[in-house]
Structure 1
């Protein structure tokens, strides 16, 4: 059975139902996921790591570096990685990791939800199940799984705060689609070379607007 590391960073996924802005304590995440998504044990051997617990609007470049270093440290121990992340800055994190984890040999799949895991009408369960399933497949990329599609991490954008299909990839086709079957478009993956961690990133950015 494949080994998958689920890394929890915060976001709506782990919020307490009926208590806005209150998130699960670190020791509750594994307990809640195991209770609400028991199907995961049929897909892979799962370990959990809560690296931090933030509203994704507060994610900074140093948090991207921490994620990249954690994945690098565990790259030989696991077959794939799933990052639970808030939706507001998920696309930014995915893009940053795609450049920090150069020539990635294993899947790193970001996912999250529009509603907390414990709510009845949540998208958290199915997003996590499908993300873990995809993390067991030969997908050597950073990707975002949301709704029914896996997008290349540095090509995805958030398009909705209310729709369960919250992300799109306007200028590049999806890497995989999940329905009755899982269809992976392997010809869209880049050629693999030697894996390199490149965590250095400057936060000194000037935005120039053209009118």
Structure 2
């Protein structure tokens, strides 16, 4: 007789377990799983975080606790389901992906819902039941890694982003198709990661160093660069992520402010990097790739010391940048190499061929 699969369910809070008006996290994992149809041959172990949070309030320190809870149950369970709020679910998927990297040789699903369980028409039961169904299939087929299940679509955790506030299909993976579907049968597609026995036998590893003092800013020609310059002068941050235009363009028109010399965003980047603050450039577009050498304004940002966050989604760019800074705090070149390494398919496929305009002229026979 086949042994039952064991799934560890961690309840962190979020809308699916909220009650009251205004809504606040309250329901336990046991209450959330009450009435849920569990697949045959699956046994559940339920665990609540000590303090359940609205996911807007979740810190990376909380995400580390989630990872440690997975680590504690890792050897005795086959899969893990993290019940989570939707607002920062993408950040948690990114964090767990980078926390475990390839050492994670079992499937982890981070799921949320747009309604509470007690509301009529709620999506909670479908989300949890689909996650359990997919988890059983992934264990059976030796599929590992971090994933999100959203209304029957299984999404790669290293690229998942929230795109809608109210619709049930709240999540997608920009530039990447779902890796599986759960309607009505489980259909596994390209993009999943298979278990590697050599890696699996070495056990789970947690790379838990992430720089806390990192901030993100949206840059435009009308956004005052003194916001960054003031942060540099305060000396509290260790990194800043700038959301760019185009393929990495940062405006260079100087701002004049009372009592200060005129300076631009490029000047602010240079001041930051001169002070040992790392500056990463991220694209806001679904198919965005930061190629700082393409346009003059991107080249100026690069010359000022800015680093490319490549084609990562904003949640993954923030997470991976924090880890890179923590690992190599005084080595920008090493940070760039780390950011440019595609570890978990967090980067888009393909590359841009360089222009051949400067190639030597072909000599005719």
Determine the structure 2 residue equivalent to 1:3.
6
Aligned residue in 2 for 1:203: 212
The question of 1:57 aligning with 2:68 is answered no
Instruction: List per-residue Cα deviations over 1:40-84 (Å, max 9, x = no partner).
Output: 264620111111300000011101111111111211111000000
Partner of 1:112: 112
State whether structure 2 residue 56 is matched by structure 1 residue 22.
Answer: no
Shift, 1:203, TM fit: 1.2
Distance 1:79 1:5 in 2: 8
Distance, in Å, in 1 between the alignment partners of 2:41 and 2:115 is 23
1:32, CA displacement in angstroms? Answer: 4.0
Residue in structure 1 matched with residue 156 of structure 2 by the alignment: 152
Q: State the shift of 1:119 in Å.
A: 1.5
Q: Which has the higher contact order (CA 8 A, sep 6+)?
A: 1
- Deviation (angstroms), 1:148: 1.5
Q: Find the residue that maps to 2:76 and give its secondary structure.
A: coil
The answer on whether the counterparts of 2:39 and 2:133 sit within 8 Å (CA) in structure 1 is no
* CA distance 1:154–1:130, shift in 2 (3 Å): same
Does residue 99 (structure 1) correspond to residue 101 (structure 2)? The answer is no
Counterpart for residue 81 of structure 2: 82
CA change 1:40–1:188 in 2 (3 A) is closer
In 1, Cα distance between equivalents of 2:56 and 2:191: 34
> 1:187 and 1:87, CA in 2 relative to 1: closer, same or farther beyond 3 A?
closer
**Structure 1 partner of 2:344:** none
Measure how far apart 1:190 and its partner are.
6.0
- Ranges in structure 2 where 5+ consecutive residues have no aligned partner: 215-239, 244-249, 252-365
Check the 8 A contact 2:105/2:195 in 1, yes or no: no
| Structure 1 gaps, min length 5 | none
Deviations 1:67-108 (CA, angstroms, capped at 9, x unpaired): 111111211111000000000000000001001012211110
* TM-score (normalised: structure 1): 0.90
Over alpha carbons, which structure has the higher Rg? 2
- Across the two proteins, how many residue pairs are aligned to each other? 206
Alignment of 1:183-202 (within 5 A): 183-185=187-189, 188-189=192-193, 192=196, 193=199, 194=202, 195-202=204-211
Distance 1:143 1:40 in 2: 19
Inter-CA distance 13–187: structure 2 relative to 1 (3 Å threshold): closer
- Superposition deviation, residue 19 in structure 1: 3.3
Which of 12, 17, 39 is matched with 2:15 structurally?
Answer: 12
Q: Aligned with 2:56: secondary structure?
A: helix
